[in-house]
Amino acid sequence: MGDKTPFDEMYNADGSVREPYRALSAWLAEQPDKGLALMQTDAEAIFRKLGITFAVYGSEEGTEKVIPFDVIPRIIAANEWRRLSKGIEQRVKALNAFLYDIYHRQEILKAGRVPEKLILNNEAFCPQMMGLEPAKGVYAHIIGVDIVRVGPDEFYVLEDNLRTPSGVSYMLEDREAMMILAPDLFQRTKVAPVETYPENLRRTLESVAPENSRGTPNIAVLTPGIYNSAYFEHSFLADQMGAQLCEGHDLFVDGGKVYMRTTTGPERVDVIYRRIDDDYLDPLTFRPDSMLGVPGLFDAYRAGNVTLVNAPGTGIADDKAVYTYVPEIIEFYLGEKALLSNVPTYNCTDEEQRKWVLENIHDLVVKEVHGSGGYGMMVGPTSTKAQHAEFKKKIEARPDNYIVQPTLNLSTCPTHINGDVAPRHVDLRPYVLVGDEVRITPGGLTRVALKKGSLVVNSSQGGGTKDTWVLED
């Protein structure tokens, strides 16, 4: 999976500049001594002014931080992007087919291609969804697919985020900041636009409105409220789409339909883009102690009077244990080989594989099946012997609770670090919209590990973001 030197996206092994980066390389060479540092300061001011912060739970220095932004864009060639987007489209189609199947006839389980107990005993499986027909047959309308690169032509999917993928506001604001900071660089390159995302999101949501909605569908973004770490994004997207931002208490159900309280009286809501978890959606169906949801919402959804985006129960398809079966899932429903590879993954419930994992844990990455945001994971090569021992015990106690992967040598991109330009590891989260058609925004969110040698890119763990440029032909 990687000799010691990671693939550098800007430079060839002989030090020459790779084709997609030529204009950027020339531009960097022209920057005055403190040029990038000044841009970096300006960038921070832009983000503070826009109020782009994220909450860090349990951190000492106050909870709101400006997400670190790097002023050197990451560049993806047009032909590389074509390959990626074909692979992403194939994946989201197969995952939606899989969701339809497991909440209906469960053919893939009957065929023995995916183990029944992995699905039916999984906490992300939602029995209340059985037999329900979602609008246009779509379960996951908004998906973030995490992709890493390890070579010129080697890309791997790290995970699929089908519940409530976040970060798209950073993608949009990173682009806006770059257009202010480096307009001259945009003039030299043809960069595919990302700013159509909110409009495409709105189109996608309108396309899955209930059959019985009249006129232009009424869309609401349902947020847990201002204390949520992604609240900035919830309000940003509602604003950009011209939709209403609501909390649970702003909505109510009457006669099987959902209404929003407004100053001029109740207004019917057709589509809810919800940014709260399944468990909290409706205290009458899920957790009775939920203060965030709307009583009766699930019955209105079952009756086909409102569309929930993403559908409840989609989390089963992004479960880390189900992830290992995605190549099978693609073959089963589409009759095609997966265009994008999974990262090789070891299954700890298999005795042979578990034994091998325990012997080699110092070289491997261990992830909790339901963990996210870089929590509940251990990167072998950068962990202590005590941490290795602790995770061995955890795996022995609950082998079904962990997946294990080789440490990937993620590609690096030039990054501005304290006045210098140095390579740092990156990953990519492209955003996909699925409704009447599949719409993929060119590029996505590049996350960058700012610590030297670190492979952990999550903002909660000290990572930053970059603008991602997909070149047009």
Q: Model confidence over 293-325: pLDDT tens digits?
A: 999 999 999 999 999 999 999 999 988 889 999
> Are 395 and 414 members of one domain?
no
Domain membership flag for residue 274: no
Predicted local confidence at residue 1, as pLDDT:
47
Domain membership flag for residue 418: yes
| Sign of the C-alpha dihedral computed for residues 106, 109, 114 and 120 taken in this order | positive
The pairing of beta strand 307-309 with beta strand 271-274: parallel
Q: What is the pLDDT of residues 53-106, one digit of tens each?
A: 665 555 555 556 778 899 999 999 999 999 999 999 999 999 999 999 999 999
Domain membership flag for residue 167: yes
Q: What is the pLDDT of residues 246-261, one digit of tens each?
A: 999 999 999 999 999 9
Please determine, for residue 387, whether its predicted confidence score (pLDDT) is greater than 50: yes
* Tokens found for residue 249: 């208490």
Predicted local confidence at residue 62, as pLDDT:
53
CA 422, chain centre distance (Å)? 26
> Are 101 and 141 members of one domain?
yes
> Are 117 and 189 members of one domain?
yes
CATH number of residue 351's parent domain: 3.30.1490.270
Secondary element (H or E) of residue 333: helix 326-334
> Are 369 and 398 members of one domain?
yes
> Are 98 and 175 members of one domain?
yes
CA distances from 188 to 171, 374, 423, 466, 471 (A): 21, 37, 23, 19, 11
Domain membership flag for residue 191: yes
> Are 350 and 384 members of one domain?
yes
Domain membership flag for residue 267: no
Q: What is the pLDDT of residues 401-449, one digit of tens each?
A: 888 999 888 999 999 998 899 999 999 999 999 999 999 999 999 999 9
Query: Over the chain, what is the mean pLDDT?
Result: 92
Predicted local confidence at residue 2, as pLDDT:
42
Residues 284, 294 contacting (CB under 8 angstroms): no
Predicted local confidence at residue 58, as pLDDT:
55
> Are 463 and 356 members of one domain?
no
* Tokens found for residue 224: 């847990």
> Are 353 and 453 members of one domain?
no
The pairing of beta strand 412-417 with beta strand 420-429: antiparallel
For residue 392, what are the domain limits? 346-406
Domain membership flag for residue 315: yes
Predicted local confidence at residue 50, as pLDDT:
80
- In the chain, the number of structural domains is 2
> Are 358 and 460 members of one domain?
no
pTM tops 0.85, yes or no: yes
Better-predicted residue by pLDDT, 386 or 229: 386
Domain membership flag for residue 424: yes
> Are 152 and 50 members of one domain?
yes
> Are 40 and 115 members of one domain?
yes
> Are 166 and 98 members of one domain?
yes
Residue at which a domain ends, from 383, 406, 429:
406
Tell me the CA end-to-end span of the chain in Å, nearest whole number: 31
Domain membership flag for residue 192: yes
Please give the order of strands across the beta sheet that includes 402-406.
346-347, 402-406, 364-368, 377-379
Residue at which a domain ends, from 384, 406, 428:
406
